């Protein structure tokens, strides 16, 4: 049997990312993306097992993000979260489309794909940063995650309406997703509250959640869709199960521990591995232009609304919602596979999503806004 050094290298990247994150105080997700990008350009290649686990890691993060949302707060703050999320999508979409279509003369499909890819806010990155900074329990943290979901809902709808041609399997995926969400919402207490299943070393509760997410992934692949939205909705609908008793809260914490140990790091490392530095440098001016347009339009779309609705955390929210990864990569990969964009264009979008956007914005969140955020006296709810 031939020795495969790739798992060893990935294990080292995961471990050293944690050490570096603890040392310098930057989100581990950002470190994993950067180390993945460096390793990929030094010759590390993705393998099939990495791609599947990375996809699964993104789905788990999305589910956990949904499970953190206070549904009562989301209902009470629906206007705020809807407006912030909608304009977080709309302004960069318009800006990127106008630049790529009218200024540099790309085709209409390519311009729409790039505009869609650069309009998202990564649920996975937002959730990871909020968890690491202990802000997921605050009212502002829950509002940010709700707004992020609204942004990505618009991204998914835009991608589906403009490009994806529904098939029978697409409808099967939708029906199965709705069916699973309804059943899980109504009957999951029979798993979480069953004394024969609770607090067992074999973790049947966590395996139950993994099974639900794997069902989403299978039928999403069958219908050429993606499991992110149903996973988030499932987490949102099951959030009450994780807040009812101390036992179910422990289940969520154990799920988070298992996921953050190895599964979700692969999501960020593989995201970094997709970036090619030589291709970035070959069209560096284009990358800078897209990066500036994306960040500027995100700022315009989010800042003024958050200044009105979240006056004590508007800068923090604006910068955090300027991060991107999950749906941006999904849209970029779809455009590449469908022939709407080429590899160079894909790398411009991927690097905006995976690298500088996350690095610059999240570092600014930590360095410039976090201390101010706490000094303003925002407390946990």
353, pLDDT greater than 80: no
360, pLDDT greater than 50: no
Q: Which residues pair with 138 in a beta bridge?
A: 380
Longest dimension (CA), the chain: 64
Between 93 and 132, the higher pLDDT residue: 93
Most confident range, picked from 6-10, 152-156, 195-199, 201-205: 6-10
372, pLDDT greater than 80: no
Q: Do 266 and 54 meet the contact criterion of CB atoms below 8 Å apart? A: yes
What number is the average pLDDT over the span 161-171? 77
What number is the average pLDDT over the span 255-274? 83
Where exactly are the structural domains of the chain?
A: 6-375
DSSP strand E in the chain: where? none
Q: Is 136 helix (H, G, I), strand (E, B) or coil?
A: coil
d(CA 118, CA 331): 9
pLDDT of residue 373: 43
Place of tokens 């970036």: 275
Between 44 and 338, the higher pLDDT residue: 44
Q: Is 42 exposed, middle or buried (0-12, 13-18, 19+ CB in 10 A)?
A: exposed
What number is the average pLDDT over the span 293-313? 87
How many Cβ atoms sit within 10 Å of the Cβ of residue 221? 14
Question: Is the pTM here over 0.85, yes or no?
Answer: no
pLDDT of residue 358: 42
Q: What is the mean pLDDT of the chain?
A: 78
| Model confidence band, residue 218 (pLDDT cutoffs 50, 70, 90) | very high
For the chain, report the end-to-end CA distance as a whole number of angstroms: 54
Q: What are the φ and ψ backbone dihedral angles of 138, each rounded to 5 degrees?
A: -80, 160
d(CA 65, CA 52): 20
Q: Do 325 and 125 meet the contact criterion of CB atoms below 8 Å apart? A: yes
Between 362 and 214, the higher pLDDT residue: 214
Q: Do 293 and 99 meet the contact criterion of CB atoms below 8 Å apart? A: yes
| Model confidence band, residue 257 (pLDDT cutoffs 50, 70, 90) | confident
d(CA 138, CA 165): 40
What number is the average pLDDT over the span 278-290? 77
C-alpha closest to that of 216 among 186, 183, 257, 242: 183
Between 246 and 72, the higher pLDDT residue: 72
| Model confidence band, residue 44 (pLDDT cutoffs 50, 70, 90) | confident
Most confident range, picked from 172-176, 235-239, 280-284: 172-176
Q: What percent of the chain has pLDDT over 90?
A: 13
337 CB contacts (<8 Å, ≥6 apart)?
Answer: none
C-alpha distances in angstroms, 52 versus 66, 289, 308? 21, 33, 41
d(CA 159, CA 214): 23
Between 355 and 29, the higher pLDDT residue: 29
Question: In this predicted model, what pLDDT tens digit does every residue of 309-346 receive, in sequence order?
Answer: 888 778 878 877 877 765 666 666 555 555 555 655 66
343 CB contacts (<8 Å, ≥6 apart)?
Answer: 276, 279, 336
C-alpha closest to that of 124 among 226, 11, 211: 226
- Is domain 6-375 in CATH 1.20.1530.20, yes or no? yes
Q: Do 121 and 152 meet the contact criterion of CB atoms below 8 Å apart? A: yes
| Model confidence band, residue 365 (pLDDT cutoffs 50, 70, 90) | very low
292's tokens: 């500036």
132, pLDDT greater than 80: no
357 CB contacts (<8 Å, ≥6 apart)?
Answer: 291, 294, 295, 322, 323, 324
Between 49 and 277, the higher pLDDT residue: 49
Between 225 and 291, the higher pLDDT residue: 291
What number is the average pLDDT over the span 11-36? 85
């Amino acid at each position: 049997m031939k020795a495969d050094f790739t798992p060893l290298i990935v294990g080292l990247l995961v471990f050293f990312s944690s050490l570096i994150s603890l040392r310098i105080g930057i989100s581990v997700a950002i470190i994993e993306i950067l180390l993945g990008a460096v390793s990929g350009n030094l010759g590390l290649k993705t393998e099939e097992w990495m791609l599947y686990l990375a996809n699964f890691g993104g789905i788990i993060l999305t589910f956990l993000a949904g499970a953190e949302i206070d549904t009562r707060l989301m209902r009470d703050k629906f206007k705020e979260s809807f407006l912030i999320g909608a304009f977080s999508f709309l302004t960069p979409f318009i800006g990127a489309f106008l630049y790529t279509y009218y200024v540099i003369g790309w085709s209409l499909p390519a311009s729409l794909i790039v505009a869609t890819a650069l309009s998202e806010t990564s649920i996975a990155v937002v959730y990871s940063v909020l968890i690491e900074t202990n802000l997921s329990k605050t009212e502002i943290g829950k509002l940010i995650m709700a707004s992020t979901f609204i942004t990505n809902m618009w991204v998914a709808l835009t991608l589906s309406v403009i490009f994806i041609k529904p098939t029978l399997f697409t409808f099967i995926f939708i029906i199965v997703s709705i069916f699973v969400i309804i059943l899980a919402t109504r009957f999951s207490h029979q798993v979480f509250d069953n004394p024969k299943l609770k607090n067992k070393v074999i973790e049947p509760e966590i395996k139950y959640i993994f099974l639900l997410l794997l069902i989403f992934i299978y039928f999403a692949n069958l219908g050429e869709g993606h499991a992110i939205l149903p996973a988030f909705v499932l987490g949102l609908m099951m959030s009450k199960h994780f807040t009812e008793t101390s036992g179910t809260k422990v289940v969520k914490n154990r799920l988070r521990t298992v996921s953050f140990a190895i599964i979700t790091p692969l999501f960020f490392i593989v995201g970094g591995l997709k970036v090619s530095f030589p291709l970035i440098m070959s069209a560096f001016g284009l990358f800078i232009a897209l990066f500036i347009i994306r960040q500027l339009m995100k700022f315009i779309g989010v800042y003024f609304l958050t200044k009105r609705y979240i006056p004590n955390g508007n800068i923090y929210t604006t910068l955090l919602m300027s991060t991107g990864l999950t749906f941006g990569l999904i849209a970029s990969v779809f455009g590449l596979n469908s022939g709407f964009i080429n590899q160079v264009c894909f790398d411009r979008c991927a690097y905006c999503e995976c690298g500088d956007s996350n690095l610059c914005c999240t570092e600014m969140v930590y360095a410039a806004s976090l201390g101010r955020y706490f000094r303003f006296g925002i407390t946990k709810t």
